[in-house]
Amino acid sequence: MKNSFIFALIIFSMLFIIPTVALNYLENKIGNTNSSTSEDTNKSSSEEQNDKDNIQLSSSEPNLIKVYNLKTNEVMVIDLEEYLKGVVASEMPAEFNIEALKAQAVTARTYLLYKIKKFPDGQPEHLDAPICTGTHCQVWNSKEDLIAQHENGWYDKYWGKIEESVDSTRGQILTYENKIIEPLFHSTSGGRTENSEDVFSTSVPYLRSVESPYENNAPKLHDSAKIPIGDFISKIKSVYGDLNITPNNLKEKIQLGSVSEGGKIKSLMIDNKEVSGREIRSLFGLNSTNFSFIQSGNQIEIVTTGYGHGVGMSQWGAAGMADEGYNYKEILKHYYTNVEIANMK
């Protein structure tokens, strides 16, 4: 009797720990906004871009762009490269290696142009501008707000570095088969990024699962939280109805469904009901869908690896690669499969 219980416990543990273990061999607050930025931007990625309409922007001249400012509820008209400095400073810690900041600058420029091309007349959520200043698009803050948000001396210490990241990559964008890409990114992959179709609905050729081995400094690489087992069960039941789950049968009733190539949980079977990893992430407010449940006494410990949706560039992975000596082009080409770094026309 005791043996069978231990066996069940081992199976239970294995089911939930496998995704974590699978990643371990490979090897925020980064803009806390990053995962939502990327998730939001992907909503429209199923629609192919029309590459016929060339964007009339030049890398050698000032370009005024329209940006919807969520703080003032007004459309700003601002120089493209100046705008990018406010994005890089908002989306990535300025303490990061300059090569990681340059990679972020190129993704920020690429994302802006992707939006301009896709929504030349403004997008549904903000009709007067193709891009906004919030997590819905990519975060931008004014210099004044950035100074207010950071410790004394931040501007003098880091603004030159932010400017360098943008100026030294002026006009550079990412393309795949001569089309501007949608450069999704996230904070911390947990060791391996995701195929786009495993997180969103669409398979995108340049958003493939790749290793991300240099994330050891990421503050949210590993995280855990404990909740009372009663709360754990009632939370699941509140969403999925009166499932037959109790503290005594959780080990049998919660089974692993499928795991993505990136090592994250795509689905679980809870009392024979299929539940997606994303739903569980949302239900319990988890950092990622790479999670495991550990039952001990009257508590469930939920252990997570990584932070964000895991698609595209890992920002902490980019910082780690930069510290290892990779330059921004190598970083971008690592996280975005078969892309080119092109110049705006």
User: What residue ranges bind Zn ion (CB under 5 A)?
Assistant: 132, 136-137
Query: Can you point out the beta strands (E) in 150-220?
Result: 172-176, 179-180, 185-186
How far is 25 from 91, CA to CA, in rounded Å?
29
Least distance from C-beta 71 to Zn ion, angstroms? 13
Q: Please, which residue, 139 or 259, has the CB nearer to Zn ion?
A: 139
Least distance from C-beta 37 to Zn ion, angstroms? 9
Cα separation values, 140 from 74, 92, 96, 143, Å: 14, 11, 18, 10
Least distance from C-beta 272 to Zn ion, angstroms? 40
User: Are 138 and 87 spatial neighbours (Cβ–Cβ below 8 Å)?
Assistant: yes
Q: Specify the DSSP class assigned to residue 105.
A: H
Query: Quick count: other Cβ atoms within 10 Å of Cβ 14?
Result: 12
Q: Please, which residue, 134 or 263, has the CB nearer to Zn ion?
A: 134
Tell me phi and psi for residue 341, to 5 degrees.
Answer: -105, 110
Least distance from C-beta 149 to Zn ion, angstroms? 20
Q: Please, which residue, 85 or 126, has the CB nearer to Zn ion?
A: 126
Least distance from C-beta 329 to Zn ion, angstroms? 28
Q: Please, which residue, 23 or 132, has the CB nearer to Zn ion?
A: 132
Burial category of 52 from C-beta neighbours within 10 Å (exposed 0-12, middle 13-18, buried 19 and up): exposed
Q: Please, which residue, 132 or 174, has the CB nearer to Zn ion?
A: 132
